[in-house]
Structure 1
Amino acid sequence: MEICDQCDCTLSEDTEEAKGVRSVNLRCHEGSLTWLNPYGAVRLRLSLGYPGDFEACFMIETANVMVKVSEEDSNSHRYVNTRSPYARYSNNDVMLKPLMTTSGKSKEYCLKSDTDIWLYLEPERTQTVQGLPIAVIYFDIERKYNVLMEDPLEECRPCDDKEILHSYCASDFVVVGSMTDVTHNLESGKSEINVAVSQIIRQRHGEQHFKRLKREASTLQGVITAPSKCGIVRGPGTFLFTGRFRFGKPKLGCAPYLQDWHKILKKAKHSGTIECSDD
């Protein structure tokens, strides 16, 4: 088992004869795996690291090579990839469920599970492709709870006071602003919320997503994504937007009206239930 101690790791195949299978155990909840000159195959383990339900999302970006991605599934009997190098020493008992074959930049693909997810990646080359082959796999793992796993629309439910307080303290970004536009992309399954930001309370170090487009502008601009199934529409008013960064883009968490947030915060201060400083 090859261990990836860092969140961004690199594998390099030095020779064309390197046709074995390399297993990689990623210890981070987000990051990337760069596969240089890919041959053979890579078994990539995505894990929460502790018991519980989780969602693992990944994207792949390639140059001069196509990559076939499958999910190992010992409970499925769809087919066995007997041409795979891995099948030779697995007694053909590992089932591979095909997920995608991609070149260039793929869409975001998500899987939900309560056990480790093993992805199986194989390069597919053609004689017409020239240049150094490279594949970069970006991954993001997020804890989910049973109710969210069972009901896909649960993530569209408005946050309760406890969830808002936790999101305020634990989110990658916390900003005050208003909606200027909302667009829906049915192909990607995402909505893009254009936001005019009047105050940045927190923005994770290294991320500069909310920016001033013009020097004289009084607000910053940014785009926050949300599932299109939630049917978000542009509404008036000022909100406290919270959430986390996924693949470098802000993903919406809780978004109470600012006046409601002030009431929740005042109540939490009075009861001593706020988890962090609001300074």
Structure 2
Amino acid sequence: HRGALRESGSVVKVDKQAVFHCSQGWLCSGRRTETSSGLSQQQGSVEQISLHCSEGTLDWLYPKGALRLTLSPRLPSVAVGPSGSSSGLITACVKPSEQFHGAQLYLERDGVLELLVGDRLESSPPPRVRCFSRLPGERVALFLQATPHQDISRRIATFRYELRGDWTARLSLDSNPISSEDACRPCNNTEILMAVCTSDFVVRGNIRSVDEDENLRAAVIKVSATRVFRQKYALFTGSSRLSSRGEIRTLLQCGVKPGPGSFLFTGRVHFGEAWLGCAPRYKDFQRAYTIAKAAQQIPCELPVD
């Protein structure tokens, strides 16, 4: 296609068979916004694009023909989950915009197409996040096909994507979520200590309230943070360190309820939102951390009280 690729204020012109790289190099941990237009594309043609970044946004203006997006994330050599294990599994999630129109998004796996997102009408309910996994060596791509419309000038197919290691499978919100027994299982001490090292956020705090979001099928935990050890994005903010507040989401079926006590919240950022990983009571974390440190078995240091 002849579109424009925007990053850090620059515009890179691209032709067919375009391959895009992040400025962060092999890790590709940054975001990428890709914009293409169907006005210069022939009806029935298929343009090839490789997605190397771990997350980004694709805007397809005036869809025409089709785009085939191969998934080639440049992740760390060992993508570990909260348990410290690594299966080599890559999980991808796509989140269509509420203004997604003019195309249908398919998952292509070994030549077989599965519909992920249909062409939306104005009256359609909000689109849902769809997630799927790719095993090492498996050939997986996203196939974005324009639907026929007489007036394509008002059609824009936009979606965000994330390509992650196997930890993302625990956060899946697509139509086939993992069992609540596995998703809601309390972490053991080994998983807690690894989560402290690998999570996007590590926060000590208290639960103020828990709300339900039926559209997301999620519980929204409102947290008062007394100490923010680490956060990848500005998830917990406030006028001072002792008055930071934020929200953490978890699966609705886990049945989280507000209660007294201090917790250590860890987890991942999923499409800009905090999702809960391990969340032991702080005193239980302190005990596990002290024992592991004495045995020289802690995977990383944390300045605990």
TM range (shorter): 0.7 to 0.9
Equivalent of 1:209 in 232, 235, 242? 235
Gaps of 5+ in 2: 1-16, 23-30, 78-86
Contact 2:59/2:156 (<8 A) preserved = yes
2:217 paired with 1:189: yes
What is the aligned partner in structure 1 of residue 115 from structure 2?
98
Amino acid at match of 2:161: F
- Secondary structure in 2 aligned to 1:23? strand
TM-score using structure 1 length: 0.78
Q: Tell me, what secondary structure is at the counterpart of 1:65?
A: coil
Q: Distance in 1 between matches of 2:140 and 2:221?
A: 31
**Post-superposition shift, 1:231?**
2.3
Quick one: which amino acid aligns to residue 110 of structure 1? C
1:225 corresponds to 2:246: no
Question: Which stretch of the first structure deviates more once superposed, 249-258 or 180-189?
Answer: 180-189
Q: Which amino acid aligns with 1:33?
A: L
CA offset digits 1:50-81 (Å, max 9, x no partner): 7733332111226583331112244xxxxxxx
Match of 1:135 among 157, 172, 187: 157
Q: Which has the higher contact order (CA 8 A, sep 6+)?
A: 1
Specify the SS of the correspondent of 2:68.
strand
Residue aligned with 1:278, SS: coil
Q: Is 28-37 or 259-268 further displaced after alignment?
A: 28-37
Deviates more, 1:148-157 or 1:24-33: 148-157
The answer to whether the 8 Å contact 1:172/1:245 transfers is: yes
Structure 2 CA distance for aligned equivalents of residues 171 and 71 of structure 1: 28
**Equivalent residue number for residue 23 of structure 1:** 48
Alpha-carbon displacement from aligned partner over 1:157-197 (angstroms, at most 9, x marks no partner): 11111111111011111111111122233442222111111
Is the contact between residue 44 and residue 120 of structure 1 (CA under 8 Å) also seen in structure 2? Answer: yes
Q: Which residue does the alignment assign to 1:155?
A: 183
* Equivalent residue, structure 1, for 2:65: 40
Q: What are the Cα deviations for residues 211-256 of structure 1, in whole angstroms up to 9, with x where unaligned? A: 22xx589522211111223222223211000111111111111111
Alignment of 1:10-89 (within 5 A): 10-13=34-37, 15-19=39-43, 20-46=45-71, 52-61=88-97, 63=99, 65-74=101-110
What per-residue deviation string (whole Å, max 9, x for no partner) do you get for residues 97-123 of structure 1?
222215486321112342343221123
Q: Distance in 1 between matches of 2:148 and 2:97?
A: 15
> Which structure 1 segments of 5+ residues have no match?
75-93
Whole-Å Cα distance in 1 between the matches of residues 287 and 274 of structure 2? 25
Name the structure 2 match of 1:110.
Answer: 131
Q: Which amino acid in the other structure matches residue 92 of structure 2?
A: A
Deviation at 1:29, TM superposition (A): 2.5
**SS of structure 2 residue aligned to 1:182:** strand
Q: Distance in 2 between matches of 1:2 and 1:16?
A: 15
Partner of 1:124: 147
3-state SS, counterpart of residue 193 of structure 1: strand
RMSD: 3.0
Specify whether residues 54 and 157 from structure 1 end up closer, same or farther in structure 2 by C-alpha distance, changes over 3 A only: farther
Q: Which amino acid aligns with 1:99?
A: L
Q: 1-side partners of 2:264 and 2:194: how far apart?
A: 13
Compared with structure 1, are the counterparts of its residues 216 and 175 closer, same or farther at alpha carbon in structure 2 (3 Å cutoff)? Answer: closer
1:2 correspondence with 2:18: yes
Task: Between 246-255 and 27-36, report the one with greater CA deviation.
Answer: 27-36
For residue 271 of structure 1, report the CA deviation from its aligned partner. Answer: 1.4
Name the TM-score, length of structure 2 as normaliser.
0.72
The 1-side partners of 2:35 and 2:241 are apart by 45
Q: Which residue of 2 aligns with 1:248?
A: 272
Q: Which residue of structure 2 aligns with residue 277 of structure 1?
A: 301
Identity %: 29
Distance 1:62 1:151 in 2: 25
